[in-house]
Amino acid sequence: MSKVVLITGASSGMGRATVEFLAKKGFIVYAGTRDIKKFKNTKNTKIIPISLNITKQDSINHVADTIHKEQGKIDILINNAGFGVVSTVEDLNEEQMQQQFNVNVFGVLRVCKSIIPIMRKQNSGVIINISSFLGKIGLPLLTLYNSSKYAVEGITDSLRYELKDFNIRVHSIMPGFFDTKFARDNLVTNLQTFDKESPYAKMVMNLAPVIVEQINNGNDAIEVAEVILNIIEDEKFLARVTVGDKAKKFIPMKKELSDEDFERRVIEYYGL
């Protein structure tokens, strides 16, 4: 019997790659998205687009109920939806702060809140949170995104304890920079920070083009999909895993060095 997957943020990037990859492997994949029209040309019957807004608990509950009624179970949840605000802390506005955490953090919690009871009653399940290597490493201009991903790492750690008695595994994937539409579609820039008269103009001019270039010339999203499959199939898989060149470079370095030495390496690498 095919395993049933729900993935959020499914219409592009890592989400879309994972939907198509798992469907080809025989999984029934509910592709949660705010715009199901993006799946109008999909011919694989294993892919079931479903309208989902992770900022609305009612929307999430409806999706959970629909899948459970149609399939009788939900085996795997992949929390993938997210975006990034690029701004100095000084320039952040209240709306940007609220929205960043509403999607990246509270969205994860809302979806887990809705799906966990189903997994608990069936006494099985796998939850995979798509985090970021920036959930362990800070970078300027990405403070809000960093902190939201640090929170996702904390959610993952705590849920591993909370759900272990119900045979529910919880993991996080910390990708580096990947060649997806993230830099073009999912990075929201603060206009004040990017104003040429900003006191941070020099930092922006030095760092922002480098980050965007690294994202747009990063690893292929299929690498994340392959790791997701490995996590699903391996009951002894590690709590978290890095994917992509930058993540594999910086995360081990972070563990080996003192905070101060690591900071100096990042400053040197990015010319800060």
| Bridge partners (DSSP) listed for residue 188 | 85
> Would you say 13 and 180 are in contact if contact means Cβ atoms under 8 Å apart?
yes
Instruction: Give the SS3 label for residue 218.
Output: coil
Catalytic option among 30, 145, 150, 200:
145
Please name which of 126, 24, 146, 135 lies closest in space to residue 79, comparing C-alpha atoms: 126
By the 10 Å C-beta count (0-12 exposed, 13-18 middle, 19+ buried), 18 is classed as buried
- Non-local CB neighbours of 7 within 8 Å, separated by 6+ positions: 15, 18, 19, 29, 30, 31, 32, 77, 78, 80
- Separation between Cα atoms, residue 5 and residue 156, nearest integer Å: 18
Question: Do 219 and 242 meet the contact criterion of CB atoms below 8 Å apart?
Answer: no
200 given a catalytic annotation: no
The helix, strand and coil proportions of the chain, stated in percent and rounded to the nearest 5, come to: 50, 15, 30
Residues annotated as catalytic (active site), given as ranges: 145
